[in-house]
Structure 1
Amino acid sequence: MAAPPPPYAPAVAVDDDEDDGFDWEAAVREIDSACALASASTPAVSNPAPPPRQPSAYPPSGPAPSAAAPFFHGPSAGGARQSTLDRFVDSFTKRQLAKERPPPAPVVPVAAAVPPPASRGGRFAARPDEGCSRGAGREEVAEGACAVALDHEAVQTWVYPTNIEVREYQLYIVQKALFTNTLVALPTGLGKTFIAAVVMYNYFRWFPEGKIVFTAPSRPLVTQQIEACHNTVGIPQEWTIDMKGNLSPEKRSSFWKSKRVFFVTPQILENDIHSGICVMKQLVCLVIDEAHRASGNYAYCTAVRKLVASHVPLRILALTATPGSKHPDIQGVINNLCISELVHRDESDPEVQRYVNARTVDLVKVPVGSDTSQVNDKLLEIIRPYIAQLRAAGVIDNRDAEKWSSHQLHILREKFNQAPPPNIPIEKKHEIRRSFAAAFSLCRISKLLLSHGIMPAYQAIEANLNEGAWNMFSRIEAFARAKEMMQSFLNKGVSSPKVQKLVEVLIDHFQKNSPKDSRVIIFSHYRESVKEILGALGGSCTNFFRPAQFIGQSSAGDRLKGQTQKMQQAILQKFRSGEYNILVATSIGEEGLDIVEVDLVICFDANVSPLRMIQRMGRTGRKNDGRVDILS
């Protein structure tokens, strides 16, 4: 069979990049090895937090266990950044040993005194009788070193709210984050938003002309932090601005000059820094939410690189529930965000346990239906010739077609494109690229079929057949037969076995729990599955279900429109009030949102990364006992 021209990758509607290449077992082994290595040293109890230091307009100096790594001049070969992670692994082991001891008594401060200002490392530090004003004519005040005035009275203390319960771990993290560039890894629902609000408020007090920026990857997360800053610490609303992308550059430029606290997405921050309308020299504090995204050329990374290159001395606080599943991933976040301190707490830590409820996790096995197996056999029949061509060319190893995933083929294709063997003729290289593209696209459809069912797979095929070279698949008899089979099974109106099991789980849950008070979130990677799930719930014979979809803003053509920020906020409000009791969400519901207490989380697709699975599981067991069902 002659290979058709290369089809484009299927335009499967997802709300995040596909990241199914994580190796669970390897990640666990790597973490175990790191902890075992650290535990080989002499065990000791972790030292308490150091006393608060004078917050200056300068970043901390000198990488050492008791001091932060420098901000402006990165150490050679990333040594200090590496030591940050090494110190964390060591402290993690010590905390594991300390868990066997009784937890310390809680502390209840109102405000903590800060020692008098002092010079650090030969740099100028403000003295109570001088300060550091922008008009100061001191030789030590170099360009970029100190662009805003310091309130010498306010800086003598840092304020911690006591209008809500004081949690020891939050107090400790705030103390660290005020004086060190800190990455906070804290499970969902344990108060990262509160920590950010306290740090932002203190920098608001200390620098009367300084600018504070909070950035998060989605509008709902931005809105959530705005509410925390207003309601928890009382930052005046007249000084804050929700910087939306639909504002004109002229309007945003005016706000950068007139406002002091900014809530933005990373793309807006990156664009405004690049265009020059962001008043960089006045930035004193940058809070980065969902910091695990800080890899490669993501907007977080490019924005921080520009700030560093411009010698802007500001405090960076990075927040995440899951910094990464592997050592290099975490190290990358540390490097990209200029982190000097990594603070981690999990649900087994003594000071956290009292705020965490029980959570049961059940793996629900769902056999693949016979109709799905028949369709997949047809797809494999199409994939095999392309795999054989790649194997004959020596660019992939010798394994059967069903053993390959789209992620593995993508990695090998990128490797081939970057460094193709020199002995392969140009015509042959084009043929290899066509085979890679075809096998990759069909493997994605096969994965979608096996993990989500016939309807999402069929919709993905239909969405792509009219675009690019995908229509060339229609010339292959086996492909046409596979489509006919899918259409035939769909015409019978029978849901996939996984959707049927999902409905059974929900009926059982609401028979045992009040449909009025209980809340459920269903996570699915693909929007096509979200649509199918909603259809199945709406067509069920029970009146238990009041479902709503919760997806991102981008649209996948005419078939799957995204939701505006206004729509998202309205849905969340109705979910909180009980008008909806089931939320069917894509990845936008995984990260950080203070949705509401959820009794049951259902993961419709089990083959997602460890990071995303942890985020999903963090949606339940926050205020009451919760349950997670993973359909596999």
Structure 2
Amino acid sequence: MLKKELKLRLYQEHLLNAAKAHNTLVVLPTGLGKTLIALGLTVLRLRENPKSVVVFMAPTKPLVEQHKALFEDYLDVPMLVATGKIPPRERVEAYKKARVVFCTPQTLENDILTSRFNLSLVSLLIVDEAHRASDGEYAYNFVAEQYAQKSRYGNVLALSASPGHSKEKIKTICKNLRLDRVEVRGEDDPTVKPYVQEKKITPLIVTLPKELNAIKAHLEKAATIMLSGLVELDVLERTSNVYKRDLIKLQAHLQSVVARGEPNTRVFEAIKLAAGAHKVLHALELVQVNGIKPLQAYFDKLKKQRERTKSSQLLFSIPDFTFAFTKAFDTTSEHPKYDVLKDLIKKQDMAHSRIIIFVSLRETARELVKQLNEIKGVHASVFVGQKEGMTQKKQQDILEKFKHGEYNVLCSTSIGEEGIHVSDADIGVFFEPVSSALRSVQRKGRVGRTAFGRVYVLMTKGCIDERYYWISRHREKKMIETLESFNGEDLHQYALSDFTA
């Protein structure tokens, strides 16, 4: 069955032994071999149950292909990557021949619902990036539920580097995936520490230029006007420290009032103000974090909406907003992050460096690639998701070219954060901090997997960047403390009510 010897480190052996006896969530830092633990358990299950099947789920197709490639390096058994591109009838036959099936949970969910796949034969269900299961609607949860009901074996192995910073979230993941044990090995664990590559995290602080500061100030005034209107309507408590997520929750509440058939003039006015305030806060974030070109693109979008949406009409009736709008198209000032980043890259030996830059917006990624490719020795590429217009084949082609040095800089949106093995990236840059501990851990995990790595975090002084940076730091610390409190616990001891998110 094995083409070559599978050599596991001591901590991997310990985690494998735990996973043999329990449905286990294994939490291990990125780059330390979670997939090899899954491979080891696969070998054991297939040897014990020769007629059974192992299913390995991952959230994206490139990640699915990546796991299959590693398994193929070790295992000599029939394998299948199940995708919607294989016609249904052919997929049914392919399932019958495969011993290990790799797929996204959405594909498997569809094939379970249409009785194309028989879960009763599955001796092991592997769930990668298991933190996705904290979303009650995600397909992992349906598959896990069906597996618990139909499989004669019922062994689940869930993998994650960053399952969440709260006990409630981790318990929700365990409930949804039918897990009864959490096993954690952090970077300071004595069995893990010798294999951890050092990463140096360096914040790079920039100051917003005068012209962009003026746009920011007028947008803040426009936001205050709208938020004050919501306070007067008694649907919001304050005008300070209000964030986009607060307005999203408020909009959802107001829409539920309408859905219940209880609307009145006040509710519709509040919906308009909340939508407008959300748009202003988004514009504020763009000017502080991403710069003038993403802001111009967003303003163009709002201008086109002006005739169709009442909230956009309201925006253009506020003098402070129209000042910011006009100023954005008149200014020649750019966000200083671009120059700081270019100066940083100019100092690198680009013949031997591999750099991955994380951005939130694909527009920013494209602008960065355009500017960075003007630097001698830089060969940069955008790396975005399929929803953003890049096919799976193109994604894999870019990663291969990065691996072999045809590209030495990747400008990636969130697709590059989760699970994808970016070979030999030794420098990572956060174009902006993220408030999510999960995303921050995932980003840092792409860098320095096989050697010393450096991570630079670009931050605008006195702006939302600083807030996100410190929130993320706090949540990462809290996540480590929470995970340590779970380590090795038998989750059957919790009452079902304790799993409520």
TM-score (norm 2): 0.85
Matched, 1:531 2:336: no
* 1:184 equivalenced with 2:11 (yes/no): no
CA contact (8 A) 1:456 1:532 kept: no
2:2 & 2:115 partners in 1: Cα distance? 35
Name the SS of the counterpart of 2:56 in structure 1: strand
Aligned equivalent of 1:552: 385
Amino acid at match of 1:267: Q
State which of 101, 105, 110 in structure 2 corresponds to 1:266: 105
Residues 357-368 of structure 1: pairs in structure 2 closer than 5 A? 357-368=197-208
Letter in 2 for 1:217: P
Letter in 1 for 2:294: P
Partner of 2:472: none
In structure 2, how many angstroms separate the alpha carbons of the residues matched to 1:473 and 1:630?
36
> 1:275 — aligned with what?
114
Correspondence 1:8-23 to 2 at 5 A: none
Unaligned runs of 5+ in 1: 1-158, 556-561
Contact 1:201–1:235 under 8 Å retained in 2: no
Q: C-alpha offsets along residues 475-523 of structure 1, whole Å, 9 cap, x if unaligned?
A: 436344433221222xx3x532111111112222x1xxx3122111111
In the alignment, what sits opposite 1:293? 132
1:451 aligns with 289
Tell me the residue number matched to 2:498.
none
Distance 1:351 1:480, change over 3 A: same
Which structure is higher in helix share?
2
- Indicate the residue corresponding to 1:252 in structure 2: 91
Displacement of 1:564 after TM fit? 0.8
Given the alignment of the two structures, is residue 599 of structure 1 paired with residue 426 of structure 2, yes or no?
Answer: yes
Any conservation in 1 of the 2:145–2:178 contact (CA below 8 Å)? no
Query: Aligned to 1:628, which of 455, 459, 470?
Result: 455
For these two proteins, the number of residue pairs brought into alignment is 453
Match of 2:185 in 1: 345
Moved more, 450-459 or 479-488: 479-488
Aligned residue identity for 2:101: F
Q: CA–CA distance in 2 between the matches of 1:263 and 1:166?
A: 22
- Looking at structure 2, the residues matched to 398 and 405 of structure 1 have their Cα atoms a distance apart, in angstroms, of 11
Match of 1:504 in 2: 343
Task: Please report how far the alpha carbon of residue 215 of structure 1 lies from its aligned counterpart in structure 2 after TM superposition.
Answer: 0.9
AA paired with 1:248?
P
2:386 aligns to what SS in structure 1? coil
CA distance in 1, matches of 2:92, 2:401: 35
**Selected match of 2:148 from 276, 286, 308:** 308
Higher-Rg member (1/2) = 1
Q: How far is 1:160 from its partner?
A: 9.2
- Is the 1:515–1:544 contact (alpha carbons within 8 Å) kept by the matching residues of 2? yes
Mapped contact 1:549–1:583 kept (Cα < 8 A): yes
The equivalent of 2:246 in structure 1 is 408
The one of 73, 86, 92 equivalent to 1:231 is 73
Instruction: In structure 2, list runs of 5 or more residues that go unmatched.
Output: 460-501
Q: Is the 8 A contact 1:404 1:443 kept in 2?
A: no
Structure-1 separation of matches of 2:3 and 2:94: 28
2-side partners of 1:246 and 1:608: how far apart?
Answer: 37
Following TM superposition, by how much is the alpha carbon of 1:161 offset from its aligned partner in structure 2, in angstroms? 9.1
1:382, CA displacement in angstroms?
2.9
Tell me the TM-score normalised to structure 1 length. 0.68
Q: Per-residue CA shift, 1:287-320, capped at 9, x if unaligned?
A: 1110011122111112212333446542111111
Asked if residue 210 in structure 1 is aligned to residue 45 in structure 2, the reply is no
CA distance in 2, matches of 1:161, 1:356: 28
Give CA-to-partner distance per residue, 1:557-582, whole Å, 9 cap, x none.
Answer: xxxxx211111111111111111111
Does the 8 Å contact 1:160/1:198 carry over to 2? Answer: no
* Cα distance change, pair 259–160 in 1 and its aligned pair in 2 (3 A): closer
Instruction: State how far apart, in whole Å, the 1-side matches of 2:144 and 2:267 are.
Output: 39
Match of 2:165 among 320, 325, 342: 325
Map Cα deviations across residues 231-253 of structure 1 (whole Å, 9 max, x no partner). 02x132xx211112222323322
User: How far apart are the structure 2 equivalents of 1:612 and 1:475?
Assistant: 35
Give the residue type in structure 2 aligned to 1:374.
A
CA distance in 2, matches of 1:261, 1:208: 12
